[in-house]
Amino acid sequence: MTADTLSQHTLADALSVRGTGIHTGATATVRLRPAPTNFGRVFWIKGQSVPATAEYVVDTQRCTTLGNAQVRISTVEHLLSALFALEVDNVMIEVEGPELPILDGSAQPWVEAVMEAGIVPQSEPAPIFNLYTSLRVTMGKSVAECSPAPNLRLYVEFVSEDWPEGTASAELPLGCGHVALYKERVAPARTFAFRKEVEALLAAGLARGGTLENALLIDPPHCFSSPLRVEYEWVAHKLLDLIGDLALVGARFNAHIAVHRPGHTINTKLAQAIYRTIQAPYEGDITA
The answer to whether 258 touches 145, Cβ cutoff 8 Å, is: yes
Is the model's pLDDT at 257 over the cut of 50? yes
Q: What pLDDT score was predicted for residue 210?
A: 87
For the chain, the structural domain boundaries read: 7-287
Q: What pLDDT score was predicted for residue 281?
A: 56
- pLDDT tens for 140-151 read 999 999 999 999
Confidence band (pLDDT; 50, 70, 90) for 208? Answer: confident
Q: Which residues pair with 256 in a beta bridge?
A: 147, 153
- pLDDT tens for 88-110 read 999 999 999 999 999 999 999 99
- pLDDT tens for 173-190 read 998 789 999 999 999 999
Task: Reply yes or no on whether 264 is catalytic.
Answer: yes
Q: Which residues pair with 15 in a beta bridge?
A: 32
Residue 207 falls in which region: left (phi positive, over 0), alpha (psi -120 to 50) or beta = left
Helices (H), strands (E): how many in the chain? 6, 20
Q: Which of 169, 165, 163 is nearest to 194 (CA)?
A: 163
Q: What is the mean pLDDT of residues 211-240?
A: 93
What's domain 7-287's architecture?
2-Layer Sandwich (3.30)
Residue 25 falls in which region: left (phi positive, over 0), alpha (psi -120 to 50) or beta = left
